[in-house]
Structure 1
Amino acid sequence: MMPGKARSVGILAVVEVMTMSLWFVSAAILPELIAEGDIGHFRAALLTSAVQIGFVLGALGMAVHGTPDRIDPRRVIAVCAVIGSVANLALLVTPIGGVVQVLLRGITGICLAGVYPVGMKIIVGWGTKDRGLLVGLLVGALTLGSALPHLFAFLGGTNWRVTVAGSSALALVSAGLALMTSLGPAHAQARAFDPGAIRMAWTDRRIRLAYAGYLGHMWELYTYWAWIGAALAVSFSAQLALEDAQSAAKLVTFVAIALGGVMCVPAGWFADRIGKAQVAKISLIVSGVSGLATAAAFGGPVWLVAALAILWGASVIPDSAQFSALVADSAPPDRAGSLMTFQTAIGFTMTFFTVQAMPFFAQAFGWQAALAIMVFGPIYGIDAMRRLIRIV
């Protein structure tokens, strides 16, 4: 990479790591919140789902308005990072699991819609031939950020406030760093308000299939990220004392999600050489198979379940970057930001239902069955990529 490009891409990656640490704060500290606040399954799930809802509302609004294409994306990220940091920090002074906390998590989600897809608008402006790698770097960064709350929770033990304060501090610092990035030579700005730009999601078959693959991917991804820690704690408790099982589940969850972030980089490098749809298809196959294997081994030896869950985490995210890169490749440069933002909006709309329903499904049928049903997402995504490969 040229020096200016490497600097901007590197800073943007750090910004994504820091700010996206806000996402899974409530999921990482859920056992402590339930114990201290005495909240039920519905409210516990809602603390995580509220982020999804907020993200969808924010992403839809920005996609229709064309925010990533019309306003300097660096400023959008900085403002959203500050507001998200404050909203997250307010969890420390509000009733646990109450309406205010749910609303605060929703506000955090709205703010993150101004970080993740807007960051993709910046990154695709830095290249076309290496776009798979560039978007892979960005998604890898946000994945590492999403894993950080689990590390904070592991280090902080039962003191959940350490996790909240740590993620808020990182997000606040990231706001300043966002303003230090530069826009690349392929960056294009839309001159006018054009909500009709998102019609291309239906009229362009390549974009439509990329969206379809993304939906299959999202059926699995955020359900895994939100609940694998809780599922592993139950599985490990068959072999370990409850406190040891919960601690081990936090550590394995961090490793699994973080490794997925690392794998986004080589996946992006291969995507620029063998094809983005091909890499997405391979990732979906591996994640689907490893998900079924994790379900089959549930409750068995801790080392085996942990290893399979880590393999699942390593393969569940690398395809995400390629769905976005496929959209960027097919869209006009001055509409790519809106189309990628809209892509994330419809994907996260679905995750609200999957994330919210998972603990109830697990309560009714067990975590083993709950993990197994995630495979329907990869199956759908694989079919979409198979068809896309034929026309790209």
Structure 2
Amino acid sequence: MLNTKLAKTPLAVIVISQLFGTSLWFSVNGVGPALVNAVDLSDTDLGLLTMAVQAGFVVGTLLIAITGLADRVRASRLFAMAAIAGAAINAGFILVAGDPYAGALARFLTGLCLAGIYPLGMKLVVSWTPRYAGAALGWLVGMLTLGTALPHLLRGATFNLPWQWPLLLASGLALIAALLIYTLGDGPQLPRPTTSSRPWAGLAAFRQINFRASTFAYFGHCWELYAFWTLTPFMVSREIARLGGHSAWLPWLAFLVIGLGLPGCVLGGRISRRVGSFNVARSALAISGTLCLFYPLLGDASPIILLALLALWGMAVIADSPQFSALASATAPRERLGAALAIMNAIGFAVTIPAIALTTHFWAQQELHVIWWLLPGPALGLLALHRMNRRTLREI
């Protein structure tokens, strides 16, 4: 009975589950300042914890692609198992937070579990709502963005409570996500799980010129995206200090900057139904690249102006992501869609690690100028899009 009710609104169930499940991603970043004070971690240590999540996600997506799990096991079951495991490990981080290396291992394992949430969420969306994949994936990636920002909201709501509370709340939300997706099940629009998937079968998708171009553009986007999200609390904190504001503003403003990616994704998804995913992706990437170029030059401008630009950047920096996923989903072989998306995500998130390492390491010395390390991402992404065969993209 519950399954029937959920199946009437599958997209809503999937995106809410994505929101709850991906709250595990930046759960530690949401309590970063409190954690630094409580267990004497440095900014570099926080960067290490963030990179550990990314590395775990990369390894997890590669394992899914190599073993063929993405196409052998029902996506709903794999999502649910990953969310339950991720919730337990995220809560367990509390016990090892004082040890940077044990903490990094816990975050690595959390990233491993996230590999069963995000790519499988994309597959579930395509399986339930294939006709308007760009718009539907706009909601999915928007909820990933809001899930990334959610730990900052949880911290803002529990600012006077111990730092452990937001982590426990995020784990609880992930358990709810597991229940929702397991109850919903898989959609009817994809082939049934197969037992004949070969290792690295998803690599065959790179023979398609448009799949190859869209994924390379996605890689450039990834170089910028997660480093920007990692730097957001740093940049917001800088402007709060210049305004003479209270530190309690930080989690709320960081949540706002990152969370604005949700309306950015949804708006981009709606526009894509009129002008196509290619044009939306190219425009959003151009906007974020322009901000990446000029923001460091405006360091002496009013803090209000810089916070407003951060808000615009927060909308644009992720608005292209669902459109890249839509382009990739439309051009990858259907029988290997799960593996192809897993490999695309694995490479894309591997690209985020050096970007995060560079920006967190040099922030203390270069401050806003560290943003220029991100500029090659949008530039190379736009070049990759320029190489696409646009004559075949009229319906994408």
The alignment's TM-score, normalised by the length of structure 2, stands at 0.92
Is the Cα contact below 8 Å between 1:190 and 1:334 reproduced in 2? no
1:27 equivalent to 2:36? Answer no
1:298 equivalent to 2:302? Answer no
Residue in 2 aligned with 1:269? 270
Residue in 2 aligned with 1:374? 374
Structure 2 residue identity aligned to 1:279: V
Report how far residue 188 of structure 1 moved: 1.6
Residue in 2 aligned with 1:230? 234
Structure 2 residue identity aligned to 1:84: G
1:42 equivalent to 2:44? Answer yes
Residue in 2 aligned with 1:344? 345
Q: Distance in 2 between matches of 1:175 and 1:312?
A: 32
Moved more, 116-125 or 249-258: 249-258
Q: Distance in 2 between matches of 1:293 and 1:137?
A: 29
Moved more, 150-159 or 63-72: 150-159
1:168 equivalent to 2:171? Answer yes
Is the Cα contact below 8 Å between 1:285 and 1:378 reproduced in 2? yes
Number of paired residues?
387
Report how far residue 296 of structure 1 moved: 2.8
Residue in 2 aligned with 1:260? 261
Structure 1 residue identity aligned to 2:213: L
1:383 equivalent to 2:383? Answer yes
User: Compared with structure 1, are the counterparts of its residues 299 and 111 closer, same or farther at alpha carbon in structure 2 (3 Å cutoff)?
Assistant: farther
SS in 2 for 1:180: helix
Residue in 1 aligned with 2:155? 153
Is the Cα contact below 8 Å between 2:355 and 2:373 reproduced in 1? no
User: Compared with structure 1, are the counterparts of its residues 253 and 134 closer, same or farther at alpha carbon in structure 2 (3 Å cutoff)?
Assistant: same
Residue in 2 aligned with 1:307? 308
Residue in 1 aligned with 2:216? 212
Q: C-alpha offsets along residues 73-96 of structure 1, whole Å, 9 cap, x if unaligned?
A: 111111111111111111222242
Report how far residue 391 of structure 1 moved: 4.6
Moved more, 182-191 or 131-140: 182-191
Report how far residue 205 of structure 1 moved: 1.1
Structure 1 residue identity aligned to 2:326: A
Report how far residue 190 of structure 1 moved: 4.6
Pairing of 1:1-392 with structure 2 (within 5 A): 7-157=9-159, 159-191=162-194, 192-240=196-244, 244=246, 246-298=247-299, 300-364=301-365, 366-388=366-388, 390-392=390-392
Moved more, 286-295 or 32-41: 286-295
Report how far residue 196 of structure 1 moved: 4.1
Q: Distance in 1 between matches of 2:273 and 2:201?
A: 27
Structure 1 residue identity aligned to 2:144: L
Is the Cα contact below 8 Å between 1:201 and 1:211 reproduced in 2? no
Report how far residue 170 of structure 1 moved: 0.6
Is the Cα contact below 8 Å between 1:236 and 1:299 reproduced in 2? no
SS in 1 for 2:387: helix
- Percent identical: 32
Q: Where does the alignment leave 5 or more consecutive residues of structure 1 unmatched?
A: none
Structure 1 residue identity aligned to 2:198: D
Report how far residue 386 of structure 1 moved: 2.0
User: Compared with structure 1, are the counterparts of its residues 136 and 13 closer, same or farther at alpha carbon in structure 2 (3 Å cutoff)?
Assistant: same
SS in 2 for 1:96: coil
Q: C-alpha offsets along residues 277-303 of structure 1, whole Å, 9 cap, x if unaligned?
A: 111000001112233343233354221
Over the aligned positions, Cα root-mean-square deviation in angstroms equals 1.9
User: Compared with structure 1, are the counterparts of its residues 304 and 62 closer, same or farther at alpha carbon in structure 2 (3 Å cutoff)?
Assistant: same
User: Compared with structure 1, are the counterparts of its residues 100 and 279 closer, same or farther at alpha carbon in structure 2 (3 Å cutoff)?
Assistant: same
SS in 2 for 1:342: helix
Report how far residue 8 of structure 1 moved: 1.3
Is the Cα contact below 8 Å between 1:239 and 1:301 reproduced in 2? no
Q: Distance in 2 between matches of 1:225 and 1:97?
A: 24
Moved more, 19-28 or 91-100: 91-100
Q: C-alpha offsets along residues 3-40 of structure 1, whole Å, 9 cap, x if unaligned?
A: 97651111111110001001011212111111121123
Q: Distance in 1 between matches of 2:391 and 2:373?
A: 30
Q: Distance in 1 between matches of 2:81 and 2:224?
A: 30
Report how far residue 44 of structure 1 moved: 2.0
User: Compared with structure 1, are the counterparts of its residues 38 and 94 closer, same or farther at alpha carbon in structure 2 (3 Å cutoff)?
Assistant: same
Q: Distance in 2 between matches of 1:335 and 1:95?
A: 39
Moved more, 30-39 or 46-55: 30-39
User: Compared with structure 1, are the counterparts of its residues 299 and 88 closer, same or farther at alpha carbon in structure 2 (3 Å cutoff)?
Assistant: farther
User: Compared with structure 1, are the counterparts of its residues 136 and 301 closer, same or farther at alpha carbon in structure 2 (3 Å cutoff)?
Assistant: same
The alignment's TM-score, normalised by the length of structure 1, stands at 0.93
Q: Distance in 1 between matches of 2:281 and 2:115?
A: 23
User: Compared with structure 1, are the counterparts of its residues 134 and 5 closer, same or farther at alpha carbon in structure 2 (3 Å cutoff)?
Assistant: farther
Is the Cα contact below 8 Å between 1:54 and 1:110 reproduced in 2? yes
- In the TM superposition, structure 1's runs of 4+ consecutive aligned residues that sit over 6 Å from their partners are none
Is the Cα contact below 8 Å between 1:277 and 1:389 reproduced in 2? no
Structure 1 residue identity aligned to 2:157: L
